[in-house]
Amino acid sequence: MRFALFSRVPDDPPHLKVQHEGATLKVALKRRPTATRITLRVSNASGEAVLTIPDRTPVDTAQRFADSHGGWIATRLAKLPARVRFEAGAVVPLRGVPHRIVHWSSIRGITQATKGSDGAPILAVAGDPQHVARRVQDFLEAEAKRDLSESVKRHTGTLGIPAKRITVRDTKSRWGSCSSTGALNFSWRLILAPPFVLDYLAAHEVAHLSEMNHSARFWKLTRKLCPRTEEAERWLKNHGTALHRFGSSGPVADAS
């Protein structure tokens, strides 16, 4: 519940509904005190439309704005890449190589990257079929943590500055980050990309242990740690968005 002088203002609804050509579109409503104008975006990370409004903007005004952009919202939603669910038969990249998810046994066991009877790469998942998605997610996160830990260890050894902690999450807007305390955080989705891309992000964040900026010295250090920096940057620019098709998470299209 928000307050306006002496009156209580009802809480904002989590979503607005916009009617367009017979369809009902849901728009997430976010109020941001630092916002100076209304902005509308469609996120590849969440697959939803998001309307952000300044603190003093009435919900009715937000609704009218959303209604006036119904066509824009529908068009952007239609252009979102098809989502790939972690289920048997789905094809998911692992270190840049497509792997088909196969539920090979109902007996509890490990998830592993191997080859099928035809020699093609697969992710073999065991256990209750209802838990295939969770087991694939757990496997990919563990593989990402392992590869990133190895890369970080190698780069910090070169730099001579240790990382305090390494965490892997489903970050929405960054592939990686480095805190002022030396803690490194990465997106698990980097395990879907070719290894040189993951290694570049590890080098990028390790370089921040020495240079907490994006100065010329930072980029010189990053290139020293990872000679394929420019190649990895190009790959992320051209293909990074597609990594968010798998599971849930990316860039946005904006209107204002």
What pLDDT shows up at residue 82? Answer: 81
DSSP 3-state of 216: helix
pLDDT above 80: residue 81? no
pLDDT above 70: residue 78? yes
Helix 216-225, helix 229-239: angle, nearest 10: 100
Contacts of 154 (CB under 8 A, 6+ apart): none
Listed range (32-46, 50-64, 82-96) with the worst mean pLDDT: 32-46
DSSP 3-state of 27: strand
Distance in angstroms (rounded) separating the CA atoms of residues 75 and 65: 16
Calculate mean pLDDT across residues 218-240.
Answer: 97
What strand order describes the sheet that includes 97-105? 91-94, 97-105, 121-126, 112-115
Calculate mean pLDDT across residues 111-122.
Answer: 96
- The closest of 176, 177, 189 to 243, measured between CA atoms, is 189
Q: What percent of the chain has a predicted confidence (pLDDT) above 90?
A: 80
Instruction: Tell me the per-residue pLDDT of 149-181, one tens digit each, with 9 for 90 and over.
Output: 999 999 999 999 999 999 999 987 799 999 999
- The closest of 157, 145, 168, 144 to 206, measured between CA atoms, is 157
pLDDT above 80: residue 190? yes
What pLDDT shows up at residue 248? Answer: 41
Instruction: Round the average pLDDT of the chain to a whole number and report it.
Output: 91
Contacts of 7 (CB under 8 A, 6+ apart): none
Radius of gyration of the chain (CA): 22
What pLDDT shows up at residue 3? Answer: 52
Give the E-state strand segments of 82-210 in sequence order. 91-94, 97-105, 112-115, 121-126, 165-169, 176-178, 183-187
DSSP 3-state of 241: helix
- The closest of 136, 129, 163 to 148, measured between CA atoms, is 163
What pLDDT shows up at residue 214? Answer: 96
Instruction: Tell me the per-residue pLDDT of 9-49, one tens digit each, with 9 for 90 and over.
Output: 678 999 999 999 999 999 999 999 999 999 999 987 677 89
- Asked if 144 and 168 count as a contact pair (C-beta separation under 8 A), the reply is yes
Which domains does the chain possess? Answer: 2-80 (no CATH), 130-245 (3.30.2010.10)
Calculate mean pLDDT across residues 84-94.
Answer: 95
pLDDT above 90: residue 201? yes
Calculate mean pLDDT across residues 130-155.
Answer: 97
Backbone angles phi, psi at 154, to 5 degrees: -65, -45
β-strand pairing of 7-9 with 15-20? unpaired
